[in-house]
């Protein structure tokens, strides 16, 4: 077993996402060696990590959470009850017993289950945590549920509101999400696809997607009399999200301005 217990997992994750996916995916990983050429090696043993934050990685179609059996730490000790020598105690006394016990249980389950996948063996607790973790590491879902951003900022930021009848162009939503991720998840790439599971959080929040014809001249919905340049050839189409309004928080003042379509 590989056991990595950092003192804390900062907002910018300890491991780069591409390296993490190589590790959990069972692919070759380049291992640096002192005064020698790096060695390509496939990590085939279980990996355990612990920290105060969940991995800050984009979870595309569950490519992270379906490979991670997470455990939630729910008990917090006040400062006057914390043991300053806890790390030394764990390493000297608890760690050997933990590793030995993990190996014993792993071998026992391997004999009992044969080739069954791990998710068929784990209790429901781990499956529930997996679902919760998937929500935690989905930047789009986080953006849709985020409150109005606070604090000084040199750029315009947005937050989402549900409003019956409101319309927001998908292109505007993409830009707002990219700006949000620069602050909330600086090391994570924003979604590159806007279909299938990528946009599922929008549907879960009650928004609907629609293709709308737009007049090229007035940039309003293309319909008879929208402007003097109305014509069948003077239109384009765009993807919009119904009932979604983006509210802009301007960088120079504390008020906010509607920025929906």
Give the tens place of pLDDT for each residue, 121-150: 788 888 887 777 766 667 788 888 888 877
φ and ψ of 10, to 5 deg: -70, 175
Lowest mean pLDDT among 130-134, 231-235, 246-250: 130-134
The answer, yes or no, to whether residue 259 has pLDDT greater than 70, is no
129 and 215 share a domain? no
As a whole number of angstroms, the distance between CA 68 and CA 129 comes to 10
Residue 198 pLDDT level (bands cut at 50, 70, 90)? confident
Predicted confidence at residue 46, as pLDDT, reads: 67
Mean pLDDT of 85-92: 79
Write out pLDDT tens, residues 41-83. Answer: 887 776 766 665 666 666 666 667 777 777 776 666 677 777 7
Nearest alpha carbon to residue 151 among 105, 184, 114, 125: 184
Adjacent-strand bridge partners of 210: 240
Asked if the model's pLDDT at residue 108 lies above 80, the reply is yes
- Are residue 145 and residue 133 in the same domain, yes or no? no
Instruction: Say if residue 38 is in the same domain as residue 126.
Output: yes
Residues 55 and 74 in one domain: yes
- Sole residue written with tokens 């990528």: 198
168 forms bridges with which residues in the sheet? 241
pLDDT-derived band at 241 (thresholds 50, 70, 90) equals very high
Q: pLDDT at position 2, please? A: 46
**Nearest alpha carbon to residue 66 among 25, 107, 29:** 25
256 located within any domain = no
Q: Residue 164 — pLDDT band, cuts 50, 70, 90?
A: very high
Domain hosting residue 245, numbered range: 139-249
Domain-ending residue, one of 89, 105, 137: 137
Query: Are both 186 and 117 inside the same structural domain?
Result: no
Q: Is 240 helix (H, G, I), strand (E, B) or coil?
A: strand
Tokens coding 2: 């590989």
Lowest mean pLDDT among 17-31, 81-95, 142-156, 244-258: 244-258
pLDDT surpassing 60 at residue 257? no
| Predicted confidence (pLDDT) at residue 151 exceeds the cutoff of 80 | no
Question: Is it the case that residue 261 has pLDDT exceeding 50?
Answer: no
Work out the pLDDT band at 33, boundaries 50, 70, 90: confident
The pLDDT confidence band at residue 256, using thresholds 50, 70 and 90, is very low
Residue 189 has pLDDT above 60, yes or no: yes
Q: Grade residue 255 by pLDDT with cuts at 50, 70 and 90.
A: very low
* Residue 122, both tokens: 């784990």
Domain boundary among 106, 137, 168: 137
Domain count, the chain: 2
Whether 111 and 166 map to the same domain: the answer is: no
pLDDT for 213 equals 86
Report the candidate in 163, 177, 160, 146 with the shortest Cα–Cα distance to residue 242.
163
Whether residue 255 is contained in a domain is answered as no
User: Is residue 243 scored above 90 in pLDDT?
Assistant: yes
């Amino acid at each position: 077993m590989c056991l990595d217990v950092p003192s804390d997992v900062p907002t910018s994750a300890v491991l780069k996402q591409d390296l993490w996916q190589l590790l959990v995916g069972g692919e070759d990983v380049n291992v640096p060696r002192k005064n020698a050429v790096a060695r390509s090696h496939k990590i085939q043993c279980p990996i355990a990590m612990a920290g105060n934050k969940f991995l800050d990685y984009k979870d595309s179609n569950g490519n992270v959470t379906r490979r991670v059996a997470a455990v939630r730490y729910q008990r917090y000790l006040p400062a006057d009850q914390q043991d300053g020598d806890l790390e030394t105690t764990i390493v000297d006394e608890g760690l050997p017993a933990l590793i030995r016990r993990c190996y014993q249980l792993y071998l026992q389950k391997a004999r009992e289950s044969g080739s069954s996948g791990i998710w068929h063996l784990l209790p429901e607790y781990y499956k529930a945590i997996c679902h919760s973790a998937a929500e935690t590491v989905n930047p789009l879902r986080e953006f849709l549920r985020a409150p109005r951003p606070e604090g000084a900022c040199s750029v315009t930021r947005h937050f989402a509101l549900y409003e019956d009848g409101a319309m927001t162009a998908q292109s505007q939503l993409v830009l707002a999400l990219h700006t949000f991720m620069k602050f909330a998840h600086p090391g994570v790439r924003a979604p590159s696809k806007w279909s299938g599971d990528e946009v599922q959080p929008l549907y879960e929040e009650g928004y609907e997607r629609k293709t709308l014809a737009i007049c090229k001249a007035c940039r309003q919905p293309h319909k008879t009399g929208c402007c003097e340049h109305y014509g069948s050839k003077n239109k384009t189409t765009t993807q919009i999200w119904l009932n979604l309004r983006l509210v802009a928080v301007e960088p120079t003042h504390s008020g906010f301005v509607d920025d929906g379509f």
